[in-house]
Amino acid sequence: MGPALALALLLGLQGILGDPGGPPRVLHSLHYLSVAVSEPSLGVPQFMALGFVDGIPFTRYDSERGRVEPQTQWMEEGAEPGYWERQTQICQGHQHVDARNLETLRHRYNQSGGLHTIQWLYSCDLLSDGSVRGSQRLGYDGRDFISFELGSKSFVAADDAAEITRRHWEDENEVERQENNLKHVCPEWLRKYVRYGQKELERKVAPDVHVSGKEEHGTLILSCHVYGFYPNIITVNWMKGGEIWDQETEWGGIVPNSDGTFHTWARIEALPEEWEQYRCRVEHPGMLEPGIFAWEPTYGGNLDMVIAVSVIAAVLILVLIGFGIWRLQSGRRDRIGYNPPAGKNMGINI
């Protein structure tokens, strides 16, 4: 796997799992990502689809294996009879339709050949106030193509080529179908999946926190690394003198570990003489109250160890997923775990 695909995977996971700087809002989430390529190669199948519940991969399909497979024990044990056969048929339908879509877009952009990709993401979230958030997004060759948000109830085309698709879908009453699927069908399946894995998905594991510092060119870089927490709802802030400094903070994505927990980090630059004024604040459902953590300067290689652990964790993610998924969040109504409406084909023509 090349570095570009590896970076794309990490960016994609950040888009799925969220930003640790904002307040906790999502109770449970369901995301389906897929990617189709025009020229498959070793380790990169022609078509691949992954399902995530609360950031945990729970289903996987790729064109080389030719079937949908469970990625968690609770999904394997909880699925109803016939579920895997139906999902395999749906994914195989998507695979064939996306092969045609790649050809359509190649002609629409007047491209002669070469490697091209289509990326989709379909997602819905159950929020703490009882509402639902949903979207579907489509990307082509690493660029935005077209998207739909439940809140706006409209398609947004990124360019003239996507405008053709927007008009076609709106003529086919796609807005109403998308609204129904994102508002009702997707949340219904999400609740079912949560019931399957309730013991696992609703557990609470408090994070381990490590604060480190390193001076570079007269600037002190303070890092707050947060490990081993579950669920993936977390807030990490840097504070100076008791005041939260979010605008000056850089966050890493909330990324899964191989054991089903998550890790993240937040970083801020400071004047070396002001290091005692800074604190890292961490809030998580597994903690009785928010934790406040300070840097305690030491002489040695602790920071190097922290960086090494982060790199190892990233490599484990790459092994878990199998290949890079681009950051674009896009999706499709029948790209989730339910049967498409009667009379609808499996997949969508662009």
pLDDT tens digits for 317-348?
A: 443 444 344 443 333 333 334 444 333 345 78
**Over 60: is that where the pLDDT of 84 sits?**
yes
Q: In the predicted model, what is the mean pLDDT of the chain?
A: 83
> Domain map of the chain by residue range?
3-201, 208-321
What is the predicted pLDDT for the residue at 182?
96
Model pLDDT for residues 48-76, shown as the tens digit of each residue: 999 999 989 999 999 999 999 999 999 99
Q: What is the mean pLDDT of residues 261-277?
A: 95
Give the global pTM: 0.73
What is the predicted pLDDT for the residue at 346?
54
Tell me the C-alpha to C-alpha distance, in Å, between residue 272 and each of 114, 213, 215: 51, 10, 7
For the chain, list the strands marked E by DSSP. Answer: 26-37, 47-53, 56-62, 67-70, 117-127, 132-140, 143-149, 154-157, 208-216, 219-229, 235-240, 243-244, 249-251, 255-256, 262-270, 278-283, 291-293
* 3-201 is a CATH 3.40.190.10 domain: no
The residue written with tokens 């082509």 in the block is 140
Of 24-28, 280-284, 306-310, least confident by mean pLDDT is 306-310
What is the predicted pLDDT for the residue at 19?
56
Q: Determine the CATH number of domain 208-321.
A: 2.60.40.10
Q: How many CA atoms lie within 13 A of 137 on its CB side?
A: 21
The CA-based dihedral angle spanning residues 225, 227, 232, 237, taken in that order and rounded to the nearest 10 degrees: -20
**Over 90: is that where the pLDDT of 260 sits?**
no
What is the predicted pLDDT for the residue at 132?
95
Which of the four pLDDT bands, split at 50, 70 and 90, describes residue 26?
A: confident
Of 6-15, 201-210, 235-244, least confident by mean pLDDT is 6-15
Nearest to 53 by CA among 318, 316, 336, 265: 336
Nearest to 285 by CA among 8, 25, 3, 7: 25
What is the predicted pLDDT for the residue at 339?
42
What is the predicted pLDDT for the residue at 212?
96
Nearest to 120 by CA among 157, 99, 146, 100: 146
And the tokens for 92?
């195989």
Q: 132-160 in b/e burial notation, b at 16+ Cβ within 10 A?
A: ebbbbbbbbbeebbbbbbbeeeebebbee
What is the predicted pLDDT for the residue at 128?
85
What is the predicted pLDDT for the residue at 146?
97
CA angle 108, 120, 77 (to 5 degrees): 150
Q: 47-64 in b/e burial notation, b at 16+ Cβ within 10 A?
A: bbbbbbbbbbbbbbbbbe
Tell me the C-alpha to C-alpha distance, in Å, between residue 285 and each of 132, 202, 211: 21, 10, 20
What is the predicted pLDDT for the residue at 283?
96
Instruction: Between 14 and 97, name the one with better pLDDT.
Output: 97
**Over 90: is that where the pLDDT of 117 sits?**
yes
Of 135-139, 146-150, 229-233, least confident by mean pLDDT is 229-233
Instruction: Between 213 and 306, name the one with better pLDDT.
Output: 213
Pairing status of strand 262-270 against strand 208-216? unpaired
Model pLDDT for residues 152-194, shown as the tens digit of each residue: 999 999 999 999 999 999 999 999 999 999 999 999 999 999 9
**Over 90: is that where the pLDDT of 243 sits?**
yes
The CA-based dihedral angle spanning residues 284, 286, 288, 291, taken in that order and rounded to the nearest 10 degrees: -40
Distance linking the first and last C-alpha atoms of the chain? 29
What is the predicted pLDDT for the residue at 286?
95
